[in-house]
Amino acid sequence: MTSKTSRRLAAATAVLGLASEIAIGAQQPVFRSRVDLVTVDATVTGPDGRAVNGLDASDFRLHVDGQTRRVVSAQYVEFDRPESGSALRDAQHFTSNEIDDGRLIIIAVDQAHIRQLEGRSALRAAAGFLDLLDPRDRVAVTSLTRTTDLVFTRDHAALKARLERLTGQGDPVFLQFNLGLLEATEIADGSRTRLADAVLRECGRSLTDYVSVARASDDAVGRDACPEQLEQEARALSQHARTQARISLAALEGLIIGLRDVEGPKAVILLSEGMVIDPRLLDLADLAAKAHEARVSIHALHLDVPLFEAAQQRVSPTALRDVDLRGDGLSRLAGASRGAVYRLVGGDPGPFRRIATELAGYYLLAFEAGDRDRDGAAHRISVDVARRGHLVRARSVFRLPRAAATLASREEALIALLRRIRPAVELPVRVATSTHLDAVAGRLRVVVSMEADSAPGAAEVLMGYVLIDANGVIAASGAHQASEGRHAFSAVVPEGRYTLRVAGIDALRRTGLVERPFVAATTNTAGLRISSLILAPAGAANAALRPIVYRTSESQLTAYVEIVGAEGAAPPAVQVRFEVVAESTETPLVARVAHAVRADGLGTARAELSLAGVAPGSYQVRALLVKDGQTVAEVVRPFAYSPR
């Protein structure tokens, strides 16, 4: 770690012992260089259209510019985790950022490509889409004509009201001739065949019947300007459609750039009647690269356009192909940004249900960046799976900066993360605190256990912490490169209120931030001062304890507690009964008795608890302190057990 960072994140991760029993394995922070990874979001759906879970890295095939790349990690991110409920919200001894989880969704209305009357039913259906979302989802509603007022909120009722106020701003273009959009673009692109057909239909004469301009002046009847006017009108119609598309794409690009600093994947639900995107004139590679950087996917809802409107006197001669032309533009846009196009007829809620299903989860894939990838240019990427009937959606382009992320940049990112006010929830982080006794009078030792859900194949997590007292003074801080996403440390502090901020950045660049307020104090009763109860995986008799936060898959646990007499007196002879009980019953499933061992004026008690035969579920370990045959105190530590 650099000296600058060491000054800013104080070296509080030196070897710190908890009495003579717990050594919180904490050497000075060490950051190891690793292969730079490129991340790709991918959605996999089965034949039924539902998101597919359970795939690993070996199931994916990934190519960059046609060259095969090995997928080193495939992490499935599911937004509907069972533990994101009351177990996390009601926990007292630990704090998690998982309860703030939810999707980031933007409903973008392409008003310039929606006619005033035809868009109302679609906007009502979009309002109904909000009812399909999880209450935790943060949603923003915006128009492409004004994207600067983007605000994410969980107030879905307010968003419905916003949608009801939006209306389409596009109107049919009234022309002298009855020209279809498709034939107008083809005429503008120089198709003489298409022009000849239109002239014959609209002017009543074959194009070959018309003479040149020079000869027309000699015509006694006068020059017939119909073919020239028709061609000019076709070019104007084509130019208008393409200009409108450029305006909408520029607004989308601005929206994507604005979302770059918002953590995690974002889904844009675009409502539009379609736009003309000619790949010969508009290259979407840059927009796709920006979408990859910002982790934005675009799901386009192609609003149905009636073949005949009351405001129109004629039906376009290429009406059906006009619809396909507009839809093709949306398909190109969505395909470049890991999305899909859905045809929306009236207020049909079906397409919205399909989108809600696809947004249930995604895979965060990672592959190793090569030297040729870091040239600042856009690179084509393709992802699929070796399973029939499965559809993979991933962005088609990525772009990397010329320089790889440096050690200093990662440290600066960690410091910035610890300072940020907004929650960071993409990387699940959990942190637990316990308070213990210290040899220094008036001081306590706070033990902090923190863990992050690192991705398979990319287990390293850069973790940092700041411990702040009630006066806003930093009492301890530090950082550590946790090889398995787990770290623990202890700090000696006065009794009082504290706020602990723990941040993590994993190898896939996911970030997590959790803040835990707590009180550093012991339990004082019956002439005893009692520490918090620690649970840790069982190890050798003299091995350092690695306290768990909440969940464990270990079938053997060590329970540990400290006791001293009041006013620092030597601890009396007490017996400690450790019991494992289910949350819904008082009958112990496991029980062990330990005697407090005196050492340097401190009494410690520990016991090994076997969970063999215990079903998965939520439990508590109780430490009952027995003095002269009477239970005089009790301390409790909840945990969740999920055996391997």
Check pLDDT > 70 for residue 94: yes
Q: What angle do CA 258, 266, 304 make, to 5 degrees?
A: 100
Position 601 scores a pLDDT of 65
Q: What is the pLDDT of residue 525?
A: 83
Across all residues in the chain, what is the average pLDDT? 82
Q: What is the pLDDT of residue 450?
A: 92
Contact 11, 1 (CB under 8 A): no
- pLDDT tens, position by position, 152-168: 888 888 888 888 888 77
Question: The pTM is what?
Answer: 0.73
pLDDT of residue 223: 62
Q: Which of 127, 120, 126, 168 is nearest to 144 (CA)?
A: 168
In this predicted model, what pLDDT tens digit does every residue of 580-602 receive, in sequence order?
Answer: 999 777 789 999 998 877 766 67
Decide if 475 contacts 493 (C-beta within 8 A): yes
Strands 104-109 and 138-143, by their bridges, are parallel
Which DSSP letter does residue 132 get?
Answer: G
Query: Does the pLDDT of residue 106 top 90, yes or no?
Result: yes
pLDDT above 70 coverage of the chain, percent? 84
pLDDT digits (tens, 9 = 90+) for 263-282: 788 999 999 989 999 888 88
Tens digit of each residue's pLDDT (9 = 90 or more) over 399-457:
887 766 665 677 788 888 998 877 788 888 999 999 988 877 778 999 999 999 888 77
As a whole number, mean pLDDT of residues 556-581 equals 81
Strand (E) positions, 129-233?
A: 138-143
What pLDDT shows up at residue 345? 86
Domains of the chain in start order, with CATH, are 1-27+404-521 (2.60.40.150), 37-101+359-397 (no CATH), 104-343 (3.40.50), 523-644 (2.60.40.2550)
Q: Which residues pair with 432 in a beta bridge?
A: 94, 449
* pLDDT tens, position by position, 355-398: 888 888 889 899 988 878 888 888 899 999 988 888 898 888 88
Q: What pLDDT, on the 0 to 100 scale, is given for residue 16?
A: 28
**Band of the pLDDT at 520, cuts 50, 70, 90?**
very high
Give dist(CA 60, CA 69) in Å, integer. Answer: 10
Per-residue pLDDT for 215 more than 90?
no
Residue with the two structure tokens 């004469």? 205
**What contacts 410, CB < 8 A, 6 or more positions away?**
31, 462, 505
pLDDT value at position 92?
A: 77
Checking if the pLDDT of 84 tops 70, the result is no
What pLDDT is attached to residue 68?
92
Tell me the per-residue pLDDT of 502-512, one tens digit each, with 9 for 90 and over: 999 988 888 89
Residue 327 has pLDDT above 70, yes or no: yes
pLDDT score of 21: 36
Using the predicted structure, report yes or no on whether residue 496 has a pLDDT greater than 90: yes
Higher local confidence (pLDDT), 571 or 501: 501
Please compute, for residue 7, the number of CA atoms within 13 A of its CA located in the half-sphere on the CB side. 2
Measured CA to CA, the distance from residue 590 to residue 612 in angstroms comes to 10
Rg (CA), the chain: 33
Over the stretch 29-38, which tens digit does the pLDDT of each residue have? 333 334 578 8
Q: Which long-range contacts (CB under 8 A, 24 or more apart) does 129-132 make?
A: 129/269, 129/349, 129/352, 129/355, 129/356, 130/156, 130/159, 130/160, 131/156, 132/352, 132/353, 132/356
Residue 204 pLDDT > 70, yes or no? yes
The stretch 467-474 carries a mean pLDDT of: 91
